[in-house]
Amino acid sequence: MSDDEKWRSKLSAEEYRVCREKGTEPPFSGEFNHNHQAGRYLCKCCGEQLFQSADKFDSGSGWPSFVRPASDHVIRCEGDSSHGMRRVEAMCDRCGCHLGHVFDDGPQDSTGQRYCINSLSLDFEPNDDE
């Protein structure tokens, strides 16, 4: 089975479009945009822990936003000049899943960064006490 066939069998059509074809879900449509539970956000494709709920904030952008990844080695960032814009794409370092983009307009009392992430690229695992 090819990688493409593997991802198509594992993901819904919309998840595949976002995760493997670098798509974007509509703003304010994602299931994790307003999630306030304590827990961990995992890569939809491979299960790698990418973000922690303690680092999530309401950016008003319509997508789940985080000030930092769960560790320094789980997110790969690359330049993205698609759609006539200059942005930084965020991907899962383990499997290459497209997550979203990183911007320098995050909370200044923290990292100053905003990891703007598609809900369709994530799974959520609540803490045991939730």
Domains and CATH numbers, the chain: 3-25+45-126 (2.170.150.20)
Going from the C-alpha of 130 to that of each of 36, 39, 40, the distances in angstroms are: 11, 8, 12
Residue 81: predicted pLDDT? 76
Residue 128: predicted pLDDT? 84
Which DSSP state fits 104? S
Residue for token pair 């803490």: 127
Which three-class secondary structure state does DSSP give residue 16?
helix
* Per-residue pLDDT in tens (0 to 9) along the chain, 130 residues: 788 899 999 999 999 999 999 999 999 999 999 999 999 999 999 999 999 999 999 999 999 999 999 999 999 998 877 777 788 899 999 999 999 999 999 998 888 999 999 999 999 999 987 5
What pTM value is reported for the model? Answer: 0.92
Write out the catalytic residue numbers: 116
Residue 130: predicted pLDDT? 54
Residue type, 113: Q
**Residue 88 in contact with residue 98, Cβ under 8 Å?**
no
Residue 74: predicted pLDDT? 98
Residue type, 74: V
Residue 66: predicted pLDDT? 98
